[in-house]
Amino acid sequence: MNNNNNQRRDFLKSLLGLGVFSMIPFKITAFNNIQDCITTSDIQGPYYIPNSPNISILSPPEITSDFLFITGTVYANDCNTPIPNATVDVWHANKGIYDSATNSYLDSSYDNTRYRGKIYTDDNGNYAYQTVLPGKYLNGSYYRPSHIHYKASYNNQNELTTQLYFENDTSIPIDPWASISSAENRIISLEIDKNNNLHGVFDIVLNTNPLSLNNIELNNQKLIQSIYPNPVNEHTHIHLRPTQYKNMIEICDISGKSIYKATVFEEKINLHKTLNYRLKKGIYIIKITSNDIVDAKRICVQ
């Protein structure tokens, strides 16, 4: 493995270490039923291959720029409890072609595991992977929108098969799967960094009861209990773990630059009243510091 691969792998590990992935990509502002937040399903398609490699870098080593970084958190069906050790299996086309076993006749050295990978969530339910923006391909008389296939589950139960789409894709309105109302919350926005890499966040809510999760213990270092709903609206609150110390709240942009800092004493903070009017559209990191303990999560302002 070359140095670039090592650096990219270390970068993904550092993202997970920050714990900055909590962003439920819902476009609606309220739910009539808690079950409405469960991530909806989509077609599997013909190119799924079981037993994908346990890797988080899906792009081949010859690609050295213009990456797509997807991060997220897998939750139980209470929409709040993260699921550690959940399985996130992803695959997608590149330049209109899926790398699959059916293509291996083209070249004996053909790698049929490109743009495929299986990731396991960490202790806080977070996952992350690196790839490139998927290419479109003809489906009859039209091009399917750019998309990434997902299979997600916990303990091989309640498996979810779905697809992730991207905002402003002109093929979405004519696609029979991406254009339906149940796909709306799976169409995410992307932010671009100074190196021309794209960043997106896709959280997944499985139909898994939090009481069925094994070996989950409260993390005493976890200051941020939840930020919900997210993207932020007038109902969004930050719930903090009770502490005898004052809390410092800091907002950073996607590059890590601090743009807002204040001391807070509340354990429940209305994010809209406190911050929303100060922030432009984009992805931000909220950091809470208390007695030298630091916790961080991502939010989205639309």
Q: What are phi and psi of 283, to 5 degrees?
A: -105, 135
Q: What is the pLDDT of residue 286?
A: 85
Count, in order, helices (H) and strands (E) of the chain: 2, 19
Q: What is the pLDDT of residue 206?
A: 95
Q: What is the pLDDT of residue 265?
A: 83
Under 8 Å between Cβ of 39 and 162: yes
Q: What are phi and psi of 220, to 5 degrees?
A: -65, -15
CATH superfamily placement of domain 3-212: Aromatic compound dioxygenase (2.60.130.10)
DSSP state letter for 295? E
What's the CATH number of domain 224-301, 1.20.1280.260, 3.60.15.10, 2.60.40.3080, 3.40.50.300? 2.60.40.3080
For residue 18, the surrounding DSSP H or E stretch is helix 3-18
Closest by Cα among 68, 290, 74 to 203: 74
C-beta contacts of 245-250 below 8 A and 24+ residues apart? 245/290, 245/291, 246/290, 247/223, 247/288, 247/289, 247/290, 248/288, 248/289, 248/290, 249/286, 249/287, 249/288, 250/286, 250/287, 250/288, 250/289
- Domain spans in the chain, listed from the N-terminal domain onward: 3-212, 224-301
Q: What is the pLDDT of residue 106?
A: 36
Alpha carbons within 13 angstroms on the beta-carbon side of residue 191 total 21
Instruction: Give ∠ CA 64-194-231 in degrees, rounded to 5.
Output: 110
Give the predicted TM-score (pTM) of the model: 0.67
What are the structure tokens assigned to 261, written together?
């800092």
Q: What is the pLDDT of residue 277?
A: 59
Q: Which residues pair with 286 in a beta bridge?
A: 251, 297
CA distance 228 to 181: 22
Q: What is the pLDDT of residue 80?
A: 83
Question: Which residues of the chain register pLDDT less than 50?
Answer: 1, 5, 17-32, 101-111, 216-220
